[in-house]
């Protein structure tokens, strides 16, 4: 089997057996294509450890981030382990391939006051009855109020909301489903959007308006992640000290939950993290904020 053919089969395995997200599978596929080009499109059996190390070294010299190098290492190791399991090669050349240590950076967050100011301004804009303003206000309230990933909000259908219980059924990474609560502010914004904003967007749809998505684009179809990113980036950037997207709202929600006394396990369930260790970074953020408050307020700091 040729390298590219094996890579295609491996990506299919990631999607159907390991149930990784399409985005992760695409990233692994891109990494493997880059490895194939770096190796001169040689056969699977011809790739050696030194070839893999050279591939990562070139990426490092090119200025790729440590996180990208780490993902490429993981992609190569997973791929070659799978090829051995499938009997495509006899020896795994990636066994001694080591990823660089990843520096863990604290997520960029907005303060509660900054978000209150932002959301108040969006509410005023939505009060005009403009369909896009109503949608954008509901979108930001939902991203922050339910601490959802932008991909999860993009996939939300009308049937995924329980407006009585104020919960949303989200499909997370690995097709794992969870039900998360959202607050009164998000509920009011979403209700206003559904009554006054969404029908106007449905009317713009070409043909029969059969779209089931909660959030619609300007032409009446399901709103994409890029469009959502653009909306949040424009609204949020000035409040977090630079470029920021929907994930900053998720980071902010997690941090504010912990600041307000929520326990770590509950925040883990809301965020849909598989590992508690992933959630623990937010305790560091809260500790940093506490330390900063102490330094500013205590006379003996």
Write the CA distances from 114 to 117, 237, 246, 294, 297, integer angstroms: 5, 11, 15, 20, 20
Of the candidates 71, 250, 251, 256, the residue annotated as catalytic is 250
Name the catalytic one among 108, 166, 273, 289: 273
Nearest to 253 by CA among 121, 139, 143: 143
- Spatial CB neighbours of 27, under 8 Å, sequence gap ≥ 6: 71, 75
| Tokens describing residue 91 | 């020896």
Tell me whether residue 282 is one of the annotated catalytic residues.
Answer: yes
What is the chain's Cα-based Rg?
Answer: 23
CB 255 within 8 A of CB 109: yes
Is 284 assigned a catalytic role? no
User: Measured over all CA atoms, what is the biggest interatomic distance in the chain, rounded to whole angstroms?
Assistant: 71
- Segments of the chain assigned E as strands: 161-162, 167-171, 177-181
Residue among 29, 135, 137, 149 flagged as catalytic = 149
Q: Which helix (H) or strand (E) holds 230?
A: helix 225-236
Beta carbons of 10 and 17 less than 8 angstroms apart: no
Q: Which residues pair with 157 in a beta bridge?
A: 213
Q: Is 61 a catalytic residue?
A: no
Catalytic-labelled residue, pool 108, 173, 178, 239: 173
Q: In Å, how far are 103, 109, 145, 157, 242 from 106, measured between CA atoms?
A: 10, 9, 21, 32, 15
Which residue is catalytic, options 53, 196, 247, 289?
247
The residue annotated as part of the active site, out of 144, 182, 193, 282, is 282
- For residue 13, the surrounding DSSP H or E stretch is helix 3-16
Place of tokens 């006054």: 196
Catalytically active residues are 149, 173, 247, 250, 273, 282
């Amino acid at each position: 089997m040729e390298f590219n053919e094996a890579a295609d089969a491996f990506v299919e395995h990631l999607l159907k057996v390991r149930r990784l997200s399409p985005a992760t599978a695409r990233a692994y596929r891109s990494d493997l294509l880059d490895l194939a080009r770096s190796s001169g499109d040689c056969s699977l059996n011809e790739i050696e450890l030194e070839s893999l190390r050279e591939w990562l070294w070139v990426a490092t010299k090119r200025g790729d981030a440590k996180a990208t190098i780490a993902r490429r290492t993981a992609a190569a190791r997973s791929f070659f382990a799978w090829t051995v399991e499938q009997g495509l090669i006899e020896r795994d050349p990636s066994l001694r391939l080591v990823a660089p240590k990843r520096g863990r950076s604290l997520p960029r967050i907005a303060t509660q006051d900054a978000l209150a100011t932002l959301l108040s301004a969006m509410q005023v804009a939505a009060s005009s009855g403009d369909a896009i303003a109503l949608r954008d206000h509901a979108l930001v309230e939902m991203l922050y109020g339910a601490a959802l990933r932008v991909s999860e909000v993009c996939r939300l259908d009308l049937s995924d909301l329980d407006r009585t219980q104020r919960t949303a059924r989200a499909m997370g990474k690995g097709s794992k489903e969870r039900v998360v609560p959202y607050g009164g502010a998000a509920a009011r914004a979403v209700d206003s959007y559904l009554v006054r904003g969404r029908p106007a967007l449905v009317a713009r749809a070409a043909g029969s308006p059969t779209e089931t998505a909660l959030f619609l684009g300007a032409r009446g179809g399901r709103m994409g992640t890029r469009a959502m990113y653009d909306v949040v980036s424009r609204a949020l950037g000035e409040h977090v000290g630079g470029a920021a997207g929907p994930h900053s709202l998720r980071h902010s929600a997690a941090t504010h939950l912990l600041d307000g006394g929520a326990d770590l396990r509950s925040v883990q369930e809301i965020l849909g993290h598989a590992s508690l260790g992933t959630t623990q970074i937010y305790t560091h953020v809260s500790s940093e904020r506490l330390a900063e408050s102490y330094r500013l307020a205590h006379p003996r700091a």
